[in-house]
Amino acid sequence: MIALPRKLNSEFVKFLAVGVLNTLFGYGCFAFLVFLGVHYSLALLVATVLGVLFNFKSTGYLVFGSRDNRLILRFVATYAVVYAVNVSLLQGLVMAGLDPYLAGAVLILPMAALAFILFRRLVFKNA
C-alpha cells in the first residue's frame, strides 16, 4: 500500500470498502425501484438522493467516526466538486481518444483518492 501514516492508510482502506457498500446500496435502490415499476429516470433520481444520504452517514461514521448531521451540506458540496472534476477529466480523456469505458475505469482510483482527501480535509476534518 501507499507509504502513509497508519491511521490515514487505514481510513483510506475503510473509505474504499465503504465505497463498495455505498455502490451496492445505490444500485440496489435503483434496481428495486425499477423492479417495482418506477420509471428508470425517477428511480435513478430517488436512488441518487438516497445514495448520497446513505453515503454521508456510512462514510461519516464508518470511515471518519462522525455522526454530525450538520456536515451534510459540506458533504454534498464536496461530492459536487468531485463530480465536476471527474466529468472534466473524463471529457479530456475521451477527447484524447480514450474509450469512455476505459477512461471511466482509469479515473476510479484517482477520484476515490480525491474524494477521500476532500472529505477528510473539508467535511470530516474534526473527526
- Nearest Cα residue to 52 out of 34, 74, 68: 74
pLDDT for residue 36 is more than 90: yes
Q: How far is CA 83 from CA 77, 79, 86, in A?
A: 10, 6, 5
Please report the pLDDT score of residue 126 as a whole number.
Answer: 83
Task: Tell me the percentage of the chain whose pLDDT exceeds 70.
Answer: 92
Mean pLDDT of 77-81: 95
Instruction: Report residue 24 as a C-alpha cell.
Output: 451496492
Q: What percent of the chain has pLDDT over 90?
A: 89
pTM over 0.85: no
Q: What is the mean pLDDT of the chain?
A: 92
pLDDT band for position 69 (50/70/90)?
very high
Greater pLDDT, 5 or 38: 38
pLDDT at 30: 94
Per the structure block, which three cell numbers stand in for 10? 487505514
Alpha helices in 6-71 (DSSP H): 6-35, 40-58
